[in-house]
Amino acid sequence: MLLEEKQLREQLYAAVMALPEKQAKRIYARYYLGMRVSEIAAAEGVDPSRVRDSIRRGLKQLVKYF
């Protein structure tokens, strides 16, 4: 892994962790752990649309960092 790539990954991880806790956990589960939205929703006991919307809002915030 190139140093530049490693630094970008670290910056991205830091930006994700700076999001509100639920959004950060959901984005982490979705993109780092590879869980499906339905799996995250089932684990949290919420409707998948809530998880999907939360992830979408979090990704919009991340775009501002990059």
Tell me the residue type at 19.
Answer: L
14 part of a folded domain: no
Q: How much is the mean pLDDT over the chain? A: 94
The whole-number average pLDDT for the span 43-66 is 95
39 part of a folded domain: yes
28 part of a folded domain: yes
Domain count, the chain: 1
Over 90: is that where the pLDDT of 42 sits?
yes
pLDDT, tens digit, 9 for 90 and up, residues 15-34: 999 999 999 999 999 999 99
Structural domain span for residue 59 = 21-65
Q: What is the DSSP letter of 33?
A: S
CA-to-CA separations, 28 to 3, 14, 61, in angstroms, rounded: 22, 11, 14
12 part of a folded domain: no
pLDDT-based confidence at 2, cuts 50/70/90? confident
Q: What is the DSSP letter of 45?
A: T
Q: Are 20 and 59 in contact (CB under 8 A)?
A: no
Distance CA 53, CA 27 (A): 11
Whole-structure pTM value: 0.86
pLDDT-based confidence at 1, cuts 50/70/90? low
15 part of a folded domain: no
